[in-house]
Structure 1
């Protein structure tokens, strides 16, 4: 028998008994583990001294209805089962003492607490919490996260976990440790980030593809008055007009349409009475998508719908050309060109505008479709994703950047591995990781360290083609940084592991380590 403070472990070759003593407040993983690892060569105890609440494990040697004989370290314990359960001779099972009057011991089988789970059952028992597989998993996770497992901490965590019975305890425990507010929306986003399903640009693409047909179909089915539909159309155009602080470049019509499409679009506007000078500008293709939409709103807004030729509005707003124009304009609002990142607060302004635009889209979708399931879900997903990023940014710096580069869109994540307090105080090194997903090059990680005027960069790539392309152009990076007064070094490394948002980023500050996932061979 080994005693340490108030905690007693009785260990035998056939079973383990943990005495019913109190765990001190703030008992941690290391406290319990050190007790559990102590070796006991011989044990001599009286099984009749088992107390109510004790949890033990033993070998079943006899079963007669609700009476069972259990062997513990060569001694036989005769006990009464309070619950009927099919037990077989030879099973090694864990039990909890329900009553012991000195003459008879009543016990209750415990669910799956073998294989070293006895200590977790003991923690739950001391906290007065039911010993279930879910609660055992909760204690295990709390210990692995190096969290306190005193009674108060256990009770608070049980309360949190019980609110979300369909969620894994590990998710709620990790969020609690990271001080992320625990809501159903945040839980879903946290798991999305853990499972690499967090990319906001993918949901944005789905929304664009689903939203445009909703508007055009409303014109086709004739179930709404033209005045109502035109008002909604104007509201969408207005909310996607450039906002102050987020002015971006919009493409010219000749960059969006083919020559045949420009001709068709011009004729549709002619049918609505647009002025000849406007039609000439549209026909030339040298007018931007933003200006084109603005002209449509201004021209049509001056006239009553009954003044338009029959079917002219329907032909324009349900036509292929307007759908392409609106889609292009929405994407220009939502996806950022790399050169635009030089503008102060560009990303912040983009997300503020995105939130307003999603609100308006939700309003119109609910009006036209009464909540089309897939589209409504995706619109909500974008908002909750933004809300989650905002929560993370209360203590760390992270943002997704939907990028538009040449003829492709790309997903990117920017992780800053210096917490906000240290960043504001300008202490030590600034460490950051830029993750890019591109069609041609695949995933690319760029790890950056800045200290004073020295910039160290490491490029992590997956294939030789990307490696060769980057290495041939590193002089552009180094020369431009040198021109700004920085000393720059560039390393190329092999990328073998995907960035883990929780383990590699959120826990990074708590671990106090550099990016441990990068243990790769240097290729150059």
Structure 2
């Protein structure tokens, strides 16, 4: 990277590195660019940083009067630094009245005032000489000099592309066909060999405008599915509702490896001190010797421990009632002053155990993670006429049955139900919640599942396949059931499925330009939009997998938007957390050491910084334009290893 300081004693900028000069203004349209294009470099962790290892481009002496385009990267009291497209940085005295901003893209020329002092003059794109160049290019292309056509040439220049006749006419023709796609997007799609069509244009602009979140589209689909079932029930078409439900379950329950609870560890994990504290509590009541040994050896099953805690808590309450009854027989007693047996269960350790159990239920897909005891009882009462086995009853009441098991059970027994019972179950609150949570778990990632190898590509492959099957199902239902022609739910469902599939297709295309993937996370009781960007270009990543720079973007309910820049060099991690508010910074600061301790135990040396977030990610400027152009696209493959 060359640093160019415009001196007050010279009409040219002096270059700190030697190289071949490039001082003349180009006049041929086929090669014309506002500035010469530099070589591609590997990006740094911080996308606003000016430091890093970069390949020096040719010396770029800047004679007075030459028109340049660049990005404002630093503003001081009387000077401004501008990064040129070839990676050179020029620093120029500036005392203008125009308000420049960091990151702003400007067209300018270096001038010399009457006192022989250099300065910066901003160019109005509607004035000469840039205006003259644009007009000449349009004239050579045989196009009228309308504002929209001038914008075509301007955008080609902004992105360092040729403004020859063919290039201008190609964008002109595309703009006539795709009127809803901006000229800037059409130019970028052309530059990076992204096929220009209505779908890609819309998706590209969604990504540029931050309206591309797959997790939001998935949530909409999973909300509509149960409601559509209810709509069919209200239309009095029990057979259509039953058939639709059976086909949906056929799709959702097929190849269901993600919700298999055998993949989730079911043992309680406690430190030695906590283990002793738990045993002291449990030994006050009858304790199975096998469970005691399992707790000591860190092999205790969650369900065994939680069941024992509930049983002992009930014994403690009964003992307290007997004590109170005896004391009150002797006179008035204030219970608040008594040290009750049940108080022993109101300690942080029990909260931690129940938290672990709740996480286990959630990761396992058990209904106890989201269905209240009242809703579970209601579901069981609806199923009584079948009736379920003793084991199924107990699993429903305890909340340990999985969504897959409930849906499979209902699918098998639905043909045996009368129309009234079937309608009550399929449109009931409990069943609708179970169907929603199961479908949501199929198309999102839990933290535990995210750890598995190839979890992300397998998720998207399965999601695309199942959405295609669901799309075919809704299309057929629409054709065979005329009453649905005015139903808003099914039309919304069809649109959301189409939009999600288009989003997945476009993400595959983007992944050919730079390593990127969305991570639709499903945490307890909420979903979270997350994105992973890898700064290190793919060629460098293949050469050295031990040196990677990446960015993880998260949209959290309470923390707000958060960017985590991570650089991994062998076992050394540099992590920078960028947050929007002081409260978020304070909260993360209070817990950052916990993250450090976990990573240290895994063998990493960690340095963390927590900073105020000043700008949002620009997917074009920060990533697409950082990578070299790719000549061909493999449309159905992901390269998302990180």
Q: TM-score, normalised by structure 2?
A: 0.59
Listed as ranges, the matches of 1:53-452 within 5 Å are 117-223=131-237, 226=239, 228-241=240-253, 243=255, 246-247=258-259, 249-275=363-389, 277-300=391-414, 305=415, 307-366=416-475, 367-368=477-478, 369-370=484-485, 372-426=490-544, 429-452=547-570
Matches of 1:420 and 1:136 in 2, distance apart? Answer: 36
SS at match of 1:330: helix
- Asked whether the equivalents of residues 564 and 576 of structure 2 are also in contact (C-alpha less than 8 Å), the reply is yes
Deviation at 1:349, TM superposition (A): 1.2
Q: Is the 8 A contact 1:236 1:360 kept in 2?
A: no
Deviation (angstroms), 1:145: 0.6
CA distance in 2 between counterparts of 1:280 and 1:406 reads 23
Counterpart residue number, 1:28: 33
Root-mean-square deviation (CA), in Å?
Answer: 2.8
Deviation at 1:206, TM superposition (A): 1.7
Contact 1:219 1:314 in 2 (8 A): yes
Query: Are 1:478 and 2:596 matched, yes or no?
Result: yes
C-alpha contact (below 8 Å) 1:395/1:420 kept by paired residues:
no
Residues 242/361 of structure 1: CA separation in 2 closer, same or farther (3 Å cut):
closer
Separation in structure 2 between the aligned mates of residue 293 and residue 244 of structure 1, nearest angstrom: 12
Note the C-alpha offset of 1:324: 1.0
Q: Is the 8 A contact 1:410 1:438 kept in 2?
A: yes
Contact 1:172 1:187 survives alignment (8 Å)? yes
Deviations 1:399-437 (A, max 9, x none): 111112233321111111122232222278411000111
- For residues 278 and 482 of structure 1, what CA distance do their matches in structure 2 show? 44
Residues matched between the structures, number: 410
Aligned residue in 1 for 2:338: none
**Structure in which a larger fraction of residues adopt strand:** 1
- What is the SS of the residue equivalent to 2:614? coil
Post-superposition CA distance 1:314-336 (Å, at most 9, x none): 11111111111111111222222
Which residue of 1 is the match for residue 308 of structure 2? Answer: none
CA distance in 2, matches of 1:24, 1:438: 49
Say if 1:428 and 1:181 are closer, same or farther in 2 by CA, change over 3 A: farther
* 3-state SS in 1 of match to 2:522: strand
Q: Describe the SS at the equivalent of 2:606.
A: strand
SS of equivalent residue, structure 1 residue 180? coil
What secondary structure is seen at the aligned counterpart in 1 of 2:503?
helix
CA contact (8 A) 1:272 1:309 kept: no
Query: For 1:394, what is the secondary structure of its paired residue?
Result: helix
Q: CA deviation at 1:344?
A: 0.5
Question: Residue 31 of structure 2 contacts residue 164 of structure 2 at CA under 8 Å; is this kept in 1?
Answer: yes
User: Quick check: 1:29–1:147 contact (8 Å CA) kept in 2?
Assistant: no
Classify the secondary structure of the residue corresponding to 1:490: strand
Once residues 609 and 209 of structure 2 are traced to their aligned partners in structure 1, the CA distance between those partners, rounded to angstroms, is 29
Asked whether the equivalents of residues 189 and 385 of structure 1 are also in contact (C-alpha less than 8 Å), the reply is yes
Give the counterpart of 1:488 among 606, 611, 620.
Answer: 606
Structure having greater relative contact order (Cα 8 Å, sep ≥ 6): 2
SS in 2 for 1:507: helix
Contact residue 268 and residue 312 of structure 1 kept, 8 A: yes
Q: Distance in 2 between matches of 1:231 and 1:217?
A: 14
Q: Which residue of 2 aligns with 1:498?
A: 616
Q: Which 5+ residue runs of structure 2 have no aligned equivalent?
A: 1-25, 37-61, 68-124, 261-362, 479-483, 630-642
Q: Match of 1:146, SS?
A: coil
8 Å CA contact 1:216–1:318 kept in 2: the answer is yes
- TM-score with structure 1 setting the length: 0.72
